Chain A
Amino acid sequence: MIATAIKAVKQTFLIVSLILLSWSQSMAAGGHSDEGFQPGAFIMDHIADSYEWHITTIGEKHVSIPLPVILYSEEKGFDVFLSSKFHHGHDAYNGYEIAHEGDLKGKIVYQNEVGEWVRPWDISITKNVTALFISMLILLWVFISVANAYKRRPGQAPTGLQNMLEPLILFIRDDVAKSSIGEKKYERFMPYLLTIFFVIFLNNLMGLIPFFPGGANVTGNIAVTLIFALITFVITSLNGNRNYWGHIFWPPVPHALKPLMIPIEIIGVFIKPFVLMVRLFANITAGHIIMLGFFSLIFIFGAMSPAAGYGVSVVTILFTVFMSFLELLVAFIQAYVFTFLSALYIGMAVEEAHH
């Protein structure tokens, strides 16, 4: 029993190490420029969104999946084309090019009549959008097949995928929704809570996989977390009852404190979703940055001497394996925390007066 467990741990360790090694190699090309290796640029490059899905670089040749670019500007109208037209950012296409520096670095820009470089309305299917779509398709496929399993075997013990996901579904229902919103009203919010939990959890996990279709920093992108937090905010506000708004605009405190408390309560309404947004974004991005930081060490030392680079790589792999396990935990915890706090806010909004 113990021997098997140790063997399993050893195997996992080996596999994770190999994956991370391949990741570090594929990344090595990213941060190189004329001035040598720049860890900051290297890290930012990997956690940022991009118009193509870079898979690996063999020698000087970039292997990447071109993604559709969809643009609209008043001057040029609609433009839809593949990002391969930019040739990895080296060429311009139809007046559009990828900015190489400044505030808009990495974004598609064009020169308007006055000669300023500005962004068009850009709804391109970027790397993050693609990863998001892939995760959404996986979720649809997984949960519709699980739902069919429930329909096919009513009242029977769950099996396979259904068995794997049922504890999570029950966990969200019993320990998140029921305990925060209450037995009477939780059912209305279950579709949102379950979806947000599994979307965040799956994207967190996919972010840990260093190669296609993972590796995109979806839940570590502020736009994604902003939308998730915004939806929680909208649901909370739309479902807020008299009691909830009463507590905000006329809190039950002595009159002398009211001028202080009312602004605090009103700000609190917006701080709650804002904190949701920042927490998820910061945690996931931080995880990616730490991993990339460890890999950067290899190249920083490698630039001094190849031997130091190889030596540090051993330590780096050990640390990143450890971090990977930690990030697995974080992936679950952050999905749980987001869902739990959303449920808590919704619960506060629908709570009946109890005094």
Chain B
Amino acid sequence: MINPDFGLLFWTLVSFSIVVFILGKFAWKPIMKSLKDREYEIENAIQSAKQAKVEMEQLQASNEKILLEAKSEREQLMKEAREVKETIIKDAKSQAAVEADKMLKTAKESIETEKAAAISDIKKQVTELSILIAEKILVKELGNQEDQKKYIDSLLKDINAN
């Protein structure tokens, strides 16, 4: 039982050597490589997942920041818009008042002018009428020179008085 058999020694050595060689080449090498590759891949996947999480958090934080900024900007814009509106209204009001004043003034002025024109026109007409009357009177009264002279003088006086 404890004497090793030559045949078994021989066949064990031969078969074991062949099996180590074949398995080493066609089984252990690809298996060890696959295991290593997979471990590497898993490691990588975990790493990238962690990184993605961090990035996500950063993204979320920046999103919130952007949202806040947008809100404040909106408020700012609203405020500005309100201010602009008020200014516009105020401006419009003051401008309208100025315009109205101006128009009133122009109207007054034109009324005055018209009035003056009308008066001078009336005066002219009166003068012409007067002259016409005077002519008629003159034509009628030219017989008496003395009276004429007196009359003209009084007329001139009247005109000057006017």
A interface with B by C-beta (< 8 Å) = 44, 47-49, 70, 107, 121-126, 128-129, 132-133, 136, 139-140, 143-144, 146-147, 150-151, 154-155, 166, 169-170, 173, 187, 190-192, 194-195, 199, 221-224, 226-228, 231, 285
Contact = CB atoms under 8 A, between A and B. Distances in A.
Contact of A123 (B11, B29, B38): B11
Contacts of B29: 191
Given A124-B7, A221-B8, 5 more contacts: A49-B5, A123-B6, A123-B7, A136-B15, A222-B4
Contact size range, B: 20 to 34
A147 B27 contact: yes
Interface in B9-49: 9-13, 15-16, 18-20, 22-24, 26-32, 34-35, 37-38, 41
Task: Indicate the member of A140, A147, A173 with the most B CB atoms within 10 Å.
Answer: A147
Contacts, number: 118
25 contacts: A49-B5, A121-B6, A123-B6, A123-B7, A123-B11, A124-B7, A125-B11, A129-B7, A132-B12, A136-B19, A140-B23, A143-B23, A144-B27, A147-B27, A147-B28, A150-B34, A154-B37, A155-B37, A169-B31, A191-B20, A194-B28, A195-B16, A195-B19, A221-B4, A228-B16
Interface string B49-67: 0000000000000000000
Contacts of A195: 16, 19-20, 23-24, 28
B1 A191 contact: no
Contacts of A222: 1-4
Nearest to B40: A155
Contact of B32 (A129, A132, A154, A190): A190
A269 to B, nearest CB: 20
B41 to A, nearest CB: 5
B19 A146 contact: no
Interface of B: 1-13, 15-16, 18-20, 22-24, 26-32, 34-35, 37-38, 41
B38 A155 contact: yes
Given A140-B23, A147-B31, A48 B8 contact: no
Contacts of A146: 27, 31
A23 to B, nearest CB: 21
A49 B8 CA distance: 9
B94 to A, nearest CB: 79
B8 A133 contact: no
A222 B35 CA distance: 35
A122 B19 contact: no
B41 A155 contact: yes
Contacts of A227: 9, 12-13, 16
Q: Which 6 A-B pairs rank lowest in CB-CB distance, beginning with the nearest?
A: A191-B24, A150-B34, A223-B4, A143-B27, A223-B8, A227-B12
A122 B30 contact: no
B7 A144 contact: no
Given A155-B38, A187-B32, A126 B12 contact: no
A146 B34 CA distance: 11
Contacts of B2: 222
A44 B2 CA distance: 12
A45 to B, nearest CB: 11
Contact of A194 (B5, B23, B38): B23
A231 B19 CA distance: 13
Contacts of A147: 26-28, 30-31
Contacts of B10: 123
A325 to B, nearest CB: 26
Contact of A140 (B3, B4, B6, B22): B22
A154 B19 CA distance: 25
Given A123-B10, A140-B22, A169-B35, A150 B30 contact: yes
Nearest to B41: A155
Given A150-B31, A173-B35, A191 B9 contact: no
Contacts of A125: 11
A48 B24 contact: no
Nearest to B10: A123
Contact of B20 (A132, A192, A285): A192
A121 B6 CA distance: 8
A136 B6 CA distance: 19
A132 B15 contact: yes
A72 B67 CA distance: 94
A144 to B, nearest CB: 5
A199 B1 contact: no
